[in-house]
């Protein structure tokens, strides 16, 4: 259940906004470099980014926007190009981070070492805090003659030395409890361990004294020892034995979390939070980062926010948030998620009085889509599906774009950056009643390209067209998925695509 953000007037100098500097509870649709340039210096408390990198080419193909797609091959042709793409964005992110702020960069082995060097240059080596290893999957890639790469890397930097850090804990595991908390108080049933009270520093004359007949250098002053003894917190097993402190299990916070995070499973096909968004990260991961590096009402920014995991986690934890993504589809998916999961309203009027959220700069409505030139409409539809529009319309025999499915893995390791053979054709018609002849034409195109599955986008389909699709499946086994513009606008497509 979403926690409601308090809009206390002291924290709310801008009326309805928690910060006078910047609007929050806003998703910006656009290139983050352009958007970030409009942000003032030092305006956010915590930044998490999970940019697409080389290994994510399939995801980009699914979810990217025009500009991203056009620059895709150049940008990802080499790690160097990737770093060049990320550097100006990280410079901007560093600028918009408050002096007390924290920054998390999520990546993997493809570029992590280069990313670390870049971040050291931007944040300074001294502001590097931790390299978090998130075990995201169990041994995969055993086919290769190597140890499988099963983890992601999250670099954690701070802008300065004065920063928020709330230590996070995991409950002790059963084996540990059995081994270390083996005593039970008969009256209360509380489990405890007996902890050492002697001081490792032997040169402490003021802490050297006799207690319960035993002379040692103690950790505490005599007065404190006596008080604890009176409360029954210090026990001596037999006369002459070294007194020890009762440490109760129920007073311990658990095991402090270190840099290896192996307890958070990735989004599985059965996960409740799964939206069908290929690069979706688990909420638990973002919860941990946000709890550790921000406090209630602080501002969390995710500048590559995908389906909005960081925004949902921030909202649930009572933080303010800002999201940026250049894919209109991603922006729609995350808006729907905020509405469904956080029960937030997407409403400008509510937002102005400090509730709800808004999406800025989203390009299209259904009405606009009916009116734009056919070529632009085709581009819009293909991009909205996360496909690649055909640059050369002529000569591609009726295909408006191609989709590269996420499930298709590269056949060989070398040449991973090449596009794969596995793709589905997309056909787009800017009309209300796509009919059976349109479907038959598309089937012909699929046959020419030896494709067994394809996607069709239009404003609507005649009954004949839908019957034709069924008929084709029964007689030829070919699958045509008819999608409507409304479905795309209403974010119904994520499940149909994956």
Ligand X SMILES: C[S@@+](CC[C@H](N)C(=O)[O-])C[C@H]1O[C@@H](n2cnc3c(N)ncnc32)[C@H](O)[C@@H]1O
- The residues binding ligand X (CB under 6 A) are 31-32, 50-52, 56, 63-64, 68, 277, 279-281, 304-307, 309, 324-327, 330
Q: How far is the CB of 165 from ligand X (least distance, A)?
A: 22
d(CA 321, CA 307): 14
320, 5 Cβ separation under 8 angstroms: yes
Q: What angle do CA 428, 451, 73 make, to 5 degrees?
A: 70
Backbone angles phi, psi at 373, to 5 degrees: -60, 145
483, 496 Cβ separation under 8 angstroms: yes
Q: How far is the CB of 440 from ligand X (least distance, A)?
A: 35
Angle (deg, nearest 10), helices 328-342 and 309-316: 30
Q: How far is the CB of 50 from ligand X (least distance, A)?
A: 4
Q: How far is the CB of 86 from ligand X (least distance, A)?
A: 9
For 163-201, give one letter per residue: b (16+ CB within 10 A) or e: bbeeebeeebeeeeeeebbeeeeeeeeebbbbeebeeee
Sign of the alpha-carbon dihedral angle for 15, 17, 20, 21 = negative
d(CA 160, CA 45): 12
Q: How far is the CB of 32 from ligand X (least distance, A)?
A: 4
Nearer to ligand X, 49 or 472 (CB): 49
Q: How far is the CB of 117 from ligand X (least distance, A)?
A: 21
Nearer to ligand X, 303 or 399 (CB): 303
- Scanning 144-295, the segments in alpha helix (DSSP H) are 174-180, 222-230, 283-293
Nearer to ligand X, 281 or 402 (CB): 281
Instruction: Outline where DSSP puts E strands in 25-127.
Output: 26-29, 44-49, 97-107
Q: How far is the CB of 53 from ligand X (least distance, A)?
A: 8
Nearer to ligand X, 96 or 194 (CB): 96
Nearer to ligand X, 161 or 270 (CB): 270
Please state the separation of Cα 290 from the chain's center in Å: 11
Q: How far is the CB of 31 from ligand X (least distance, A)?
A: 4
Nearer to ligand X, 51 or 354 (CB): 51
Nearer to ligand X, 245 or 403 (CB): 403
d(CA 93, CA 140): 34
Using CB atoms, what's the residue nearest to ligand X?
306
d(CA 491, CA 194): 58
d(CA 218, CA 199): 5
Nearer to ligand X, 63 or 156 (CB): 63
Query: CA-CA-CA-CA torsion for 353, 355, 359, 364, nearest 10 degrees?
Result: -80
Nearer to ligand X, 243 or 323 (CB): 323
Ordered DSSP codes for 142-155: TTSSS----EEEEE
Q: How far is the CB of 494 from ligand X (least distance, A)?
A: 11
């Amino acid at each position: 259940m979403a926690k409601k953000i308090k809009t206390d007037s002291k924290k709310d100098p801008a009326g309805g906004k928690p910060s006078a500097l910047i609007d929050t509870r806003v998703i910006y649709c656009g290139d983050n470099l352009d958007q970030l340039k409009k942000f003032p210096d030092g305006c956010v408390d915590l930044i998490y980014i999970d940019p697409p990198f080389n290994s994510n080419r399939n995801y980009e193909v699914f979810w990217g926007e025009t500009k991203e797609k056009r620059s895709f091959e150049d940008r990802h042709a080499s790690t160097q190009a990737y770093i060049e793409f990320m550097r100006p964005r990280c410079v901007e992110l560093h600028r918009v981070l408050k002096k007390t702020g924290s920054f998390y960069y999520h990546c993997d082995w493809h570029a992590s070492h280069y990313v670390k060097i870049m971040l050291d240059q931007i944040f300074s080596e001294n502001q590097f805090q931790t390299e978090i290893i998130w075990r995201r999957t169990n041994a995969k890639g055993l086919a290769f003659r190597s140890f499988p790469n099963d983890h992601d890397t999250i670099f954690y930097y701070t802008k300065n030395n004065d920063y928020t850090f709330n230590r996070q804990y995991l409950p002790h595991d059963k084996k540990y409890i059995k081994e270390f908390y083996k005593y039970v108080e008969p009256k209360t049933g509380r489990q405890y361990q007996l902890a050492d009270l002697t001081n490792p520093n032997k040169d402490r004359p003021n802490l050297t004294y006799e207690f319960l007949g035993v002379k040692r250098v103690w950790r505490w002053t005599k007065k404190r020892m006596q008080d604890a003894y009176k409360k029954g917190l210090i026990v001596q097993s037999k006369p002459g034995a070294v007194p020890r402190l009762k440490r109760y299990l129920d007073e311990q916070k658990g095991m402090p979390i270190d840099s290896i995070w192996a307890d958070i499973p990735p989004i599985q096909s059965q996960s409740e939070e799964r939206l069908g968004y290929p690069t979706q990260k688990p909420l638990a991961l973002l919860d941990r980062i946000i709890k550790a590096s921000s406090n209630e009402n602080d501002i969390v920014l995710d500048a590559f926010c995908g389906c909005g995991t960081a925004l949902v986690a921030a909202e649930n934890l009572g933080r303010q948030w800002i999201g940026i993504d250049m894919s209109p589809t991603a922006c729609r998916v995350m808006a729907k998620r905020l509405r469904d999961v956080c029960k937030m309203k997407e409403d400008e009027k509510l937002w102005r009085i400090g509730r709800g959220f808004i999406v800025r700069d989203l390009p299209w409505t259904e009405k606009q889509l009916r009116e734009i030139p056919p070529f632009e409409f085709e581009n819009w539809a293909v991009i909205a599906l996360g496909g690649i529009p055909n640059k050369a319309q002529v000569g591609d025999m009726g295909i408006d774009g191609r989709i590269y499915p996420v499930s298709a893995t590269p056949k060989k390791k070398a040449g991973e950056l090449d596009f794969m053979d596995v793709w589905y054709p997309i056909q787009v018609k800017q009309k209300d009643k796509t009919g059976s002849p349109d479907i038959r034409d598309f089937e012909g195109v699929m046959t020419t390209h030896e494709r067994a599955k394809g996607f069709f986008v239009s404003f609507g389909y005649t009954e004949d067209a839908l019957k034709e699709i069924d008929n084709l499946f029964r007689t030829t086994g070919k699958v045509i998925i008819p999608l409507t513009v409304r479905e795309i606008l209403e974010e119904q497509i994520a499940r149909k695509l994956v």
